[in-house]
């Protein structure tokens, strides 16, 4: 954790040297369109997209410095990558294919051209990895630090789209990957930031690579969508985990008009996440339930599909839906039942 590498006046190019249109031209020169549905990208008053007879899904996510990220430990390239990926995750949660994104930036004068280059390098890397086109956006001045707003556009056949509202009262609740890692990565980064501010000591991140990457450079679960197709399993409802497992499970249940039961002993938790939570005197299950930012997929399937997913290392059955009058329940490791509570991220809660 050091001062920004972009503060050296000998290597720093002020944004004012390019101006808004010069910056847009600089960005546009780095973009090559990949999608046949991208008819026109940057360079006109608006992008042109051909839905090719499919339903389009559109999602927007905003990241605000000091609320959603801290540049003390978030490299700009990682931040750009993450900004794209968290939007693509929402598209995959609709069982859709992401095709295009637009990017709007609010920039204060402390960011030089080189910093914007780093941010876009991460964005374009994510676009390349997921086969998505960056087709437009906007830039403006900001008095409150860096603001990033991404809109992602995807496409899906009408009959293939999956909403949050399709779960039945006997469906199984399934999650991809493992949980709580991003939250524990954040705890490590915040601890090391505090130590650096107090003593000037450089961060000790040894042994925490996995959970730090989960926080700083997550991946959208495109592979799970492909896996479910291969297994011939069509989820009845689906959501991505951005605000915490408990919160997202309750979203599915409410949207579908059913209850939900989650079994504590079924939660998939990586050993690194587990041991780090213990080091922080935190309950690993609480971190998995409420940590957020894992960007795994949470979905429901019919009981008849259980044999298709049983034993697959990429997905875990963690509970089931119930009749609505049974509410939202967490079953502990001893079989005790407790009300399931959402204690994860709420974007509108007052902070600081």
**Look-up: residue for tokens 């990949």?**
34
pTM of the predicted model, to two decimals?
Answer: 0.90
- The domain containing residue 20 runs over which residues? 15-159
- Please report which confidence band the pLDDT of residue 352 belongs to, taking 50, 70 and 90 as the band edges: very low
pLDDT tens digit string along 306-345? Answer: 999 999 999 999 999 999 999 999 999 999 999 999 875 4
Least confident residue range of 11-25, 217-231, 321-335: 11-25
Contact 131, 34 (CB under 8 A): yes
Q: CA-CA distance, 279 to 244, in Å (whole number)? A: 21
Tell me the average pLDDT of the chain.
Answer: 91
Tell whether 249 and 107 lie within a shared domain. no
- Please report which confidence band the pLDDT of residue 13 belongs to, taking 50, 70 and 90 as the band edges: confident
Tell me what pLDDT residue 4 has: 58
* Percent share of the chain, pLDDT over 90: 75
- Domain end: 159, 192, 221, which one? 159
- Please report which confidence band the pLDDT of residue 7 belongs to, taking 50, 70 and 90 as the band edges: low
Residue 78 has pLDDT above 50, yes or no: yes
Tell me what pLDDT residue 3 has: 52
Tell whether 79 and 197 lie within a shared domain. no
What tokens appear for 164 in the block? 């949050």
Residue 126 has pLDDT above 60, yes or no: yes
Q: Is 226 helix (H, G, I), strand (E, B) or coil?
A: helix
Q: CA angle 252-253-257, nearest 5°?
A: 120
Q: CA-CA distance, 45 to 75, in Å (whole number)? A: 32
Tell whether 28 and 141 lie within a shared domain. yes
pLDDT tens digit string along 30-54? Answer: 767 878 888 888 777 788 999 999 9
Tell whether 138 and 227 lie within a shared domain. no
Tell whether 103 and 200 lie within a shared domain. no
Tell whether 199 and 129 lie within a shared domain. no
- Please report which confidence band the pLDDT of residue 347 belongs to, taking 50, 70 and 90 as the band edges: very low
């Amino acid at each position: 954790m050091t001062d920004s590498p972009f503060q050296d006046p000998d290597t720093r190019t002020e944004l004012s040297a390019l101006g808004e249109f010069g910056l847009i031209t600089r960005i546009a020169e780095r973009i090559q369109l990949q999608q046949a549905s991208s008819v026109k990208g940057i360079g006109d008053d608006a992008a042109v997209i051909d839905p090719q007879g499919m339903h389009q899904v559109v999602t927007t996510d905003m990241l605000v410095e000091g609320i959603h990220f801290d540049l003390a430990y978030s490299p700009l390239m990682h931040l750009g990558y993450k900004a794209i990926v968290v939007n693509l995750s929402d598209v995959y949660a609709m069982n859709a294919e992401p095709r295009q994104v637009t990017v709007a930036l609010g920039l204060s004068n402390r960011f030089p051209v080189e910093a914007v280059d780093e941010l876009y390098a991460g964005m374009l890397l994510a676009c390349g990895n997921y086969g998505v086109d960056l087709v437009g956006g906007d830039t403006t001045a900001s008095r409150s630090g860096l603001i990033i707003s991404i809109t992602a556009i995807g496409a899906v056949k009408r009959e293939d789209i999956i909403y949050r509202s399709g779960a039945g009262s006997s469906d199984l609740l399934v999650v991809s990957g493992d949980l709580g890692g991003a939250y524990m990565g954040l705890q490590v980064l915040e601890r090391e930031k505090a130590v650096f501010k107090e003593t000037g000591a450089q961060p000790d991140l040894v042994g925490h690579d996995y959970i730090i990457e989960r926080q700083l450079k997550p991946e959208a679960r495109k592979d799970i969508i492909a896996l479910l197709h291969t297994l011939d399993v069509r989820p009845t409802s689906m959501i991505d985990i951005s605000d915490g497992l408990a919160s997202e499970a309750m979203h599915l249940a409410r949207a579908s008009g059913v209850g939900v039961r989650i079994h504590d002993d079924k939660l998939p938790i990586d050993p690194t996440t587990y041991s780090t939570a213990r080091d922080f005197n935190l309950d690993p299950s609480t971190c998995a339930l409420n940590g957020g930012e894992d960007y795994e997929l949470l979905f429901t399937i019919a009981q008849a599909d259980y044999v298709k997913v049983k034993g697959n290392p990429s997905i875990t059955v963690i509970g089931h839906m119930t009749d609505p009058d049974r509410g939202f329940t967490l079953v502990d490791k001893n079989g005790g039942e407790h009300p399931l509570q959402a204690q994860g991220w709420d974007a509108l809660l007052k902070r600081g």
